[in-house]
Structure 1
Amino acid sequence: LLFSAYFNLRISHTTRKEKMKMEASVSAVEKIIGYTFQNKKLLEQALTHTSYPEAVSYERLEFVGDAVLGLAISNHLFLAYSSVDPGTLSLLRAANVSTEKLARAAVRNGLHRYVRHNTFSIVDAINEFVEAVDCEDDCVVVKYGGSVKAPKILADIVESIAAAVYVDVGFDLKKLWVIIRGVLEPIVTLQDLEQKPQPVTMLYEICQKNGKKVDIEQQKKWCQKHGQCLC
């Protein structure tokens, strides 16, 4: 009986501690996105990974967020580029809502600090990605791709937060876009899309920024089939 009372007390204390932590996270994220939720449970859900026990995860919100972000970006691009063909608009939309792009938006806005989960491997993956993104700053080409693969959880929370906002504003797409656009900046533009990535230049820029020396060695290979040298 005594053990049972002690055990229940510990659970109650842990629950209160977790509740206070989540309330602080909700408040912090509201400040980041510049929007105060009427239903804060929506944002709590948006920040909860499936690995976290006894809590509703962001899976359903992510489902909505994936679609609504695509639609919001589509509307923006349609209005911004009146003479661009559908194929190019599709490429622009894909670049703006890719896992790589959304994960970077999460990191650059500090949203990764508030994800509620119970998996150590997630911490390692996020930390590695955050370090990589820090090195990529000011490098235009990596707005929507880079050296380290983005953890999907980071893109998921951006989609989930967008969905939470969308539901909270009564499914008003215009209101959602006004609120969430700042999180998605910089928006990948047509000029960005047309700019061909230069991997070697990118490597020199990143190494120079971090005080590293890069030495590139070329190797020659002979192609037997075509009888020519491949560098």
Structure 2
Amino acid sequence: MPSVKMYCRGKLKIKGKRVADVVEALTGAYLSSGGEVAALSFMKWLGLEIDFANAPLPRHFPVNAEKLVNVRYLESLLHYKFHDPSLLVEALTHGSYMLPEIPRCYQRLEFLGDAVLDYAVTAYLYFKYPGLTPGLITDLRSASVNNECYAQSAVKAGLHKHILHASQELQRQISRTAEDFGLLDLVSTFGWEAETTFPKVLGDVIESLAGAIFVDSGFNKDVTFRSIRPLLEPLITPQTIKLQPKRELRELCDQKGYIKKKDIVSRENGVAYITVEVEADGVIHKDTRSGRDKKMAKKVACKNVLKSLKECAANAQH
């Protein structure tokens, strides 16, 4: 056989991230074309062998679920009948509400459900919109898979009434959030429209319920997503997506050449005060917001500056 000559013009340095991206892309290619078995086989070939144990761990929850939660109603809401209703109890138990027959709260199931929903929503968006760029798919996912939209979904479905807890402060937060939510005119629970901070527990229970269904169904992601999806409807689309206000403001300033000043941040008695200021064509657009959640205060301030900039641009056109 004639020998094949290889020619090299020099050394080529490749960044580690690029190599990692290629590995992730190849794993995704095997997953999308051949399924999980093919992807796992590819990972094993790379030396990333993962040993999955399908046998469920024994649970020791000697609890009468019906005495603690409304099992029948919740199963109707979730469109899923639990083989082990104690999982439903665990998924709705806050750390402040611990009984001898409930050895742990929802945190383990939340950890699991977070990963399952992240994968399920990502896969849904990937196959639903095959023509979208990776950047736009990422935007859709970030607007869909976050504690804020999960919390709104929980309140919309009335799940906040079924959380087992023993904290008066948490009850005040949940009640105030439910009242504020009733005043919102939201078409969807997705996106960045809310201007109030939601107690973390509200978003957590969506994830913990997903984790409970995932375990109870024998680790079936499709069943899990089918059960949780109605709570999240209407799902976000490329037509309804709105960028996170902080990012939208940054991109608008880059596009138009506006000058965004450094945010002014201060704290007083546990309350954060944030001022966002942009100079556009010699005009100052500024807004100051306060709140115990600095991220929420900045988001609202950015929204108001964006609104001012857009109104100014619209008036200039007329």
Q: For the superposition of Structure 1 and Structure 2, which TM-score range results when normalised by the shorter chain?
A: 0.7 to 0.9
Which residue of 2 is the match for residue 140 of structure 1? 187
Aligned with residue 36 of structure 1, among 78, 81, 88? 81
Looking at CA atoms only, which structure, 1 or 2, has the larger radius of gyration? 2
Alignment: residue pair count: 187
Relative to the length of structure 2, the TM-score reads: 0.54
* Aligned-pair identity (%): 34
Alpha-carbon distance change, 141 to 181 in structure 1, aligned in 2, over 3 angstroms: closer
1:227, CA displacement in angstroms?
A: 10
Alpha-carbon distance change, 227 to 39 in structure 1, aligned in 2, over 3 angstroms: closer
Alpha-carbon distance change, 53 to 194 in structure 1, aligned in 2, over 3 angstroms: closer
Alpha-carbon distance change, 196 to 156 in structure 1, aligned in 2, over 3 angstroms: closer
For residues 183 and 204 of structure 2, what CA distance do their matches in structure 1 show?
23
For residues 198 and 164 of structure 2, what CA distance do their matches in structure 1 show?
18
Once the two structures are superposed, residues 22-64 of structure 1 have per-residue CA deviations (whole angstroms, 9 ceiling, x without a partner) of 14x2222112111110011111100000111233200100000
For residues 85 and 118 of structure 1, what CA distance do their matches in structure 2 show?
46
For residues 181 and 138 of structure 2, what CA distance do their matches in structure 1 show?
25
Which residue of 1 is the match for residue 68 of structure 2? 22
Alpha-carbon distance change, 144 to 125 in structure 1, aligned in 2, over 3 angstroms: farther
Which residue of 2 is the match for residue 89 of structure 1? 137
Question: Any residues of structure 2 matched to 1:2-151 within 5 Å, and which?
Answer: 21-23=67-69, 25-54=70-99, 55=102, 56-137=104-185, 139-140=186-187, 143-145=190-192, 146-151=194-199
1:68, CA displacement in angstroms?
A: 0.4
- Higher RCO (CA 8 Å, separation ≥ 6 residues): 1
1:158, CA displacement in angstroms?
A: 0.4
Which residue of 2 is the match for residue 192 of structure 1? 240
For residues 75 and 189 of structure 2, what CA distance do their matches in structure 1 show?
27
Aligned Cα root-mean-square deviation (Å): 2.6
For residues 216 and 244 of structure 2, what CA distance do their matches in structure 1 show?
40
Which residue of 2 is the match for residue 155 of structure 1? 203
Relative to the length of structure 1, the TM-score reads: 0.73
Amino acid at match of 2:198: A
Q: Secondary structure at the match of 1:230?
A: strand
Q: Residues 144 and 190 of structure 2 are in contact (CA less than 8 Å); yes or no, is this contact kept in structure 1? A: no
Question: Any residues of structure 2 matched to 1:168-183 within 5 Å, and which?
Answer: 168-183=216-231
Question: Unpaired runs of 5+ in structure 1?
Answer: 1-15, 198-220
Q: Residues 92 and 188 of structure 1 are in contact (CA less than 8 Å); yes or no, is this contact kept in structure 2? A: yes
Q: Residues 217 and 223 of structure 2 are in contact (CA less than 8 Å); yes or no, is this contact kept in structure 1? A: yes
Question: Greater strand share, 1 or 2?
Answer: 2
